[in-house]
Structure 1
């Protein structure tokens, strides 16, 4: 069964047959004639105007921003039929900022630990084989927890005002990875392993195999109106001196469809060692950090008409050993001008307590102890 969400989450792709393959088969003989290949060019251009109050610099801000409901991107994906049910597959996906034309996914890590890498295809870059419901791929790929968050977060871990505001890893990509996906009726099983999940911190280290290691597993069930998932992942620190330090996550989520309404519920567990690098600080008071937290969310999408959809979501962060437990509320209205183009407006409110510093776009984006309101109005076009 498909786990695709309401129409606003879908991509519309324009597929081009590789005429060059057909021409080459005439030149180089029958050895190429049996292979049927295609490449799909696709993308999303998403841009809007955002208002924020209580910024870290003080006062309010109005700015043009790219990638609000969907990260702006363009990509190529292809398939070649090798015969006997076997297919070769690939995907290359570039992220960009449509408001200024710069590439995205170049900065990794947080704060003083942030690094910059040159990524032409920063969203995805992988190649693999598929065979009768089984798939094995290698390269830079979406983390399993990201794939499931897209489906089970009411806001689809959108770039602004979603579960991503509370945990960067819910939209993570993993370098140097191998991923297995197997479909068994209504159940999908996945496993993923990386020898160095973020090459912004360098290549694999000889004699230190666990430095930057990543592994993950997921089970997903979908049948009729019901879908549910469970995911676990673990990362080792990216430095040799701290490579036994880890960051561990577990996610459980479910959805249920009531005709025009789909309801969502989710939970994420997080625990990180104090020496983990890159850090994932949960800022609770004047820059202090906690290394464990529970994240809960509830939400719903209501397709009022085929052209108009409302989404509401609430996120609560229970930070361990502190009273600094902020929450985020989001309301989105999406009007579809066509299957490819929509206009949207999103309002979010982040509430902080005990000097926590959650902004609508993430921790550290609001003055500590202050609440924040964000409003974005934008246009999205898929191709």
Structure 2
């Protein structure tokens, strides 16, 4: 197909007004859908934070906090291009290519390859998104390629701390240092998003195995009634993607998550409840269940907002013991984060965040014992959208 109009490079225009800015901040950049605009757009986000951090995968009995500069306190830094073409009759062709970046060093991706026993390759260049699709207001949208998982979309679209994988309790408990496999985006996937009908919309996703084991499947149903929003997501992962550095398990897993939020104006309250089932592998099957829940809130004040979130992951099942120096085998993990986000303009904000991480882990050597550990993370940062 050829363009009926020449392609032009455009910059995204932010929403105007403090109320719109607060709403944009509370929404997750990874899930927000841009307003239809013809041509090609350059977009992205830079987030730089400095402070002392414990491991995002959970504290262990001997861990010490590390002082560093990070490329993501409230959001992971990224840049990308996206565009669309009007094909006539209401049909639109769409695409997006976006890449994570580490602006403290200039390197691409979120991290380098993870060694054994995880054995996850480093992020490819367009690991955030690389898809092309078609949409129509009557029949919805179909996308093909590397696409944000529906479970991650469910988590970040109803979360006061958005898509933060450094300070959001929900994201840390579910996706980072978690028994969940599959990461936050699925390669080799086809996703269908239905049109909105009476506030209700649904999505289904399928990711082909491509010689990496069995296929992945997911579904999500969401309802928007103004101040009240709720959604339910489910996924089954039968392989561990070889190309994403946030995958922390090579096992088959199934998970579900219910999300809800209510805007009391000005206070907005969010909550999640879910479960992760670690099913092991074909040669070593398991059935270990982890229950995850969290609550979070955003409270506008002045030209900014207070943020707070608390989340817990527990298992009543037997988890394999690990050495005391490993942040795994958690019987329980609890996270509390508080902070303030101050808007300097419609695109730029500064923030301060404090997080407390507590774990109870079954450790080696034999006989296995339960060891409690805790750590504190603190950061000041700046986030800029373009």
Q: Does structure 1 retain, via aligned residues, the 8 Å contact 2:142–2:192?
A: yes
Question: 3-state DSSP class of the match of 2:39?
Answer: strand
1:43 aligns with 2:48: no
Q: Could you say what the CA RMSD is over the residues aligned between the two structures, in angstroms?
A: 3.2
Question: 3-state DSSP class of the match of 1:146?
Answer: helix
Query: Are the structure 2 counterparts of residues 372 and 120 from structure 1 closer, same or farther at C-alpha, using a change threshold of 3 Å?
Result: same
Residue in 1 aligned with 2:323? none
1:125 aligns with 2:142: no
Question: Where does the alignment leave 5 or more consecutive residues of structure 2 unmatched?
Answer: 1-20, 242-250, 319-329, 364-369
1:147 aligns with 2:160: no
2:277 to 271, 294, 318: 271
Q: How many residues align?
A: 324
Residue by residue, what CA displacement relative to the aligned partner does 1:171-195 show, whole Å, maximum 9, x if unpaired?
A: 6100000000012230011000010
Q: Does structure 2 retain, via aligned residues, the 8 Å contact 1:5–1:151?
A: no
Tell me how far apart the structure 2 counterparts of residues 62 and 90 of structure 1 sit (CA, whole Å).
39
Residue by residue, what CA displacement relative to the aligned partner does 1:95-148 show, whole Å, maximum 9, x if unpaired?
A: 100000111156577752323246121100000000115000000000011111
Residue by residue, what CA displacement relative to the aligned partner does 1:198-241 show, whole Å, maximum 9, x if unpaired?
A: xxxxxx23xxxx924100001000011000001110011359xx
Tell me how far apart the structure 1 counterparts of residues 375 and 95 of structure 2 sit (CA, whole Å).
42
2:316 to 316, 320, 336: 320
Residue in 2 aligned with 1:369? 372
2:258 to 252, 258, 261: 252
Residue in 2 aligned with 1:311? 307
The Cα of 1:259 is off from its aligned counterpart by 1.0
- Tell me the TM-score normalised to structure 2 length: 0.76
Q: Does structure 2 retain, via aligned residues, the 8 Å contact 1:79–1:90?
A: yes
Q: Does structure 1 retain, via aligned residues, the 8 Å contact 2:26–2:160?
A: no
Q: Which has the higher helix share?
A: 1
Tell me how far apart the structure 2 counterparts of residues 247 and 126 of structure 1 sit (CA, whole Å).
25
- Tell me the TM-score normalised to structure 1 length: 0.77
Alignment of 1:333-372 (within 5 A): 333-353=340-360, 369-372=372-375
Residue by residue, what CA displacement relative to the aligned partner does 1:220-270 show, whole Å, maximum 9, x if unpaired?
A: 00011000001110011359xxxxx73100010100001111111111211
Question: 3-state DSSP class of the match of 2:153?
Answer: helix
Query: Are the structure 2 counterparts of residues 247 and 118 from structure 1 closer, same or farther at C-alpha, using a change threshold of 3 Å?
Result: closer
Residue in 2 aligned with 1:86? 91
1:62 aligns with 2:58: no
1:296 aligns with 2:293: yes
Query: Are the structure 2 counterparts of residues 299 and 80 from structure 1 closer, same or farther at C-alpha, using a change threshold of 3 Å?
Result: same
Q: Does structure 2 retain, via aligned residues, the 8 Å contact 1:331–1:347?
A: yes
1:174 aligns with 2:191: no
Tell me how far apart the structure 2 counterparts of residues 314 and 276 of structure 1 sit (CA, whole Å).
35
Question: Where does the alignment leave 5 or more consecutive residues of structure 1 unmatched?
Answer: 18-35, 197-203, 240-244, 280-288, 357-366
Residue in 1 aligned with 2:245? none
Residue in 1 aligned with 2:205? 192
Q: Does structure 1 retain, via aligned residues, the 8 Å contact 2:22–2:300?
A: no
| Higher RCO, Cα 8 Å, sep 6+ | 2
1:217 aligns with 2:227: no
Q: Please, which moves more after superposition, 49-58 or 36-45?
A: 49-58
Query: Are the structure 2 counterparts of residues 339 and 110 from structure 1 closer, same or farther at C-alpha, using a change threshold of 3 Å?
Result: farther
Query: Are the structure 2 counterparts of residues 58 and 109 from structure 1 closer, same or farther at C-alpha, using a change threshold of 3 Å?
Result: closer
Tell me how far apart the structure 1 counterparts of residues 137 and 113 of structure 2 sit (CA, whole Å).
36
Tell me how far apart the structure 2 counterparts of residues 339 and 299 of structure 1 sit (CA, whole Å).
24
Residue in 1 aligned with 2:228? 226
Residue by residue, what CA displacement relative to the aligned partner does 1:31-87 show, whole Å, maximum 9, x if unpaired?
A: xxxxx9411111111011121369767544211111110110111110100111000
Tell me how far apart the structure 1 counterparts of residues 239 and 253 of structure 2 sit (CA, whole Å).
8
Q: Does structure 2 retain, via aligned residues, the 8 Å contact 1:140–1:176?
A: yes
Question: 3-state DSSP class of the match of 2:372?
Answer: coil
Q: Does structure 2 retain, via aligned residues, the 8 Å contact 1:105–1:123?
A: no
Alignment of 1:200-211 (within 5 A): 204-205=210-211, 211=213
Q: Does structure 2 retain, via aligned residues, the 8 Å contact 1:157–1:171?
A: no
Q: Does structure 1 retain, via aligned residues, the 8 Å contact 2:227–2:262?
A: yes
